[in-house]
Structure 1
């Protein structure tokens, strides 16, 4: 039996969408007797996601500080670390995640005879800065293939890189864990880091404008630099008893299954894991139609509501409709569950494998 060796490269396994996808792919592939899976981490951080015992994790022993000189020397060291590790493992394919790190990986593999693939995990319209934009333009063209998360992202990446082998593959959906939740509560839920991209200030403003909703609560699950500012905003609006903040939860399905509505106000995305997981748990959703991802998951008026980006008035109205209409919530929620078939981890992980090992 021929055994293929696959290396996945990512900065860390801390909480995040890219990290979740890597862990799902590694776990799915590791169940195959003809595959040996390695994950190469580029920084030393606590692991939020776990992988199967037969997945080998390789992480650097070196660390760096916020000092620019320290970061520079670490970049040089990590180039050598990647190059040395790949030469030792001799994989059949390397798949790297995350934009700026993809450039580092491609640089490190120059001159090594290995199939190399990269995947950007956010909206490819976003600029990476002068240096990394130029590197992406030059290095991505020489990659054996690029994996985009949406068809829109695929088109943008082709314009930027001119790589002829780009495939759009959505994120795999992990298996939903059923919890003993007997009744959903009047909770409007969102999950995402407390950062500008997630636009949670606007969400708090939207929640404050709902009418006859004193018996509803907003739950924000995530961490980030804006947490303190968001808490102050909640207090200023007199919503402290109705808005709560929680750190990321490993049993996140419990919170999906306890809530009645999921809201998503991001300004941009790659492919929103939190949104698809909420839908898989049967939650009706109201989401901004941001680039990219929500419009590929939500059929407006069938399994959720799509709202023009930053149209707060319409977002308030759509959310108000869901609050007031049990039947509409149930209808959206039942339709939303269909994502479990379309985006199953078994199916999507096979698409990835077919692309990088063909």
Structure 2
């Protein structure tokens, strides 16, 4: 198969970007794969594509552009069309639906030699549903919970997603939500989790006095609440430290909370990293304080290096990954005191921490790239067989 992933910004740092690059790597072992980015805002991508995977920009805002800017009249035409398809709430949430980008996507869909095109967020999925020619197998991929979408986005999803040839979500809970919304058949809709990167990760000793957290500096991560919870740990265990790995410019409240609680010597903001597993292996616990999680990639990454996880029981990812009392602990959402007590419990009890670390390592086996890739291949083959007869290169190959 020739498979194309369409992503908002394949050059940026972010969970969706990282997982799309990883899945592309897995599929590229037996297929031709490219990642198509609506925008290019930096010369070099934060995540290097795997060998054999092409990164294709549809618009270019760098000082060395590699994409020709469409004529103004053409841009205006397709931008107006895109505005009718992509709800304003989605365009506000992601600023990459520029006139140049959507014009580039329209052209790409009409000219690509791909057999399968996979969108990776609602606005892209909606444009693919509207603009892709019938010869393409069109698959939507959702990285956010359905409940996180604004009403106007859910309305557009209800109207247009059935035009796609299939949809993949990250959790069984979200699959049930989409099934209820769309009345989708069991074969059309699937839940496929994110996969771990290939290779043998380092192993945590679980004896370093470090609690890790990871993810962009965004309100949804609720890092100020995590710092509040960590203050209870420090009160009893002053040698422990909290390392927060992430990036972004929305860290004012976080820094203010650190200062207010006098934790400047105990909490460090470590910035972005391309070696998340290496950083997690230096910790003894992972803390998740999110309001919601589409999946919880850092949870399975922590598991892969043998680190147990303490998390809010937020929708939806953590509760489908963490087995409470076995490979981690779940506490009621927004309960900062309970989060602090759960962290303190595993900080204090080395034996329990190590026992949960062993269980976490075993749990990681369910998210190996080879296995998730095979499940994706089976889903794509099943959807190809079920879709109306296609006329592209793959159809000729399969007869």
| Same-fold call, TM cutoff 0.5 | yes
C-alpha change, 1:180 and 1:148, in structure 2 (3 Å) is closer
- Among 294, 305, 308, which residue is 2:332 paired with? 308
2:268 aligned counterpart, secondary structure: strand
Matches within 5 A, 1:211-250: 211-250=235-274
* Structure-to-structure mapping, 1:47-196, within 5 angstroms: 47-63=45-61, 75-109=98-132, 111-128=133-150, 130=152, 132-164=153-185, 165-175=188-198, 178-179=201-202, 184-196=207-219
Structure 1 residue 127: Cα displacement: 2.4
Query: 1:10 corresponds to which residue?
Result: 7
Shift of 1:134: 2.5
Find the counterpart in structure 1 of residue 32 from structure 2: 36
Between the aligned partners of 2:307 and 2:241, the Cα distance in structure 1 is 15
Distance 2:135 2:146 in 1: 28
Q: Kindly provide the CA deviation profile for residues 282-327 of structure 1, in whole angstroms up to 9, marking residues without a partner as x.
A: 1121111110111111110011101111122222221111111110
**1:153-208 deviation digits (Å, cap 9, x = unpaired):** 00111222333211011111113554598784201110011111101111011111
Alignment of 1:268-279 (within 5 A): 268-279=292-303
Q: Partner residue of 1:348? A: 372
CA contact (8 A) 1:100 1:128 kept: no
Which secondary structure does the structure 2 equivalent of 1:107 belong to?
helix
Cα 1:268–1:240, aligned 2, differ >3 Å: closer, same or farther?
Answer: same
Deviation, 1:223, is 1.4
Closer, same or farther: CA 124–183 of 1 in aligned 2, 3 Å:
closer
Matched residue, 2:289: 265
CA distance in 1, matches of 2:261, 2:203: 34
Is there any run of 5+ residues in structure 2 with no aligned partner, and where?
Answer: 63-75, 81-96, 383-399
Deviation sequence 1:7-63 (CA, Å, 0-9, x none): 11111222222111211111112122xx21121111113422122231122102344
State whether residues 152 and 292 of structure 1, in contact with CA within 8 Å, keep that contact through their aligned partners in structure 2.
Answer: yes
Q: Secondary structure at the match of 1:140?
A: helix
User: Deviation per CA, 1:236-284, whole angstroms, max 9, x where unpaired?
Assistant: 1111011000111112222111111111011101111111101111112
TM-score (norm 2): 0.81
The within-5 A match list for 1:326-337 is 326-337=350-361
Q: Is the 8 A contact 1:197 1:266 kept in 2?
A: yes
Q: Secondary structure at the match of 1:84?
A: helix
* RMSD of aligned residue pairs (Cα, Å): 2.2
Secondary structure, in 3 states, of the residue corresponding to 1:27?
helix
Using the alignment, how far apart are the partners of 1:324 and 1:183 within structure 2? 12
What TM-score do you get using the length of structure 1 for normalisation? 0.90
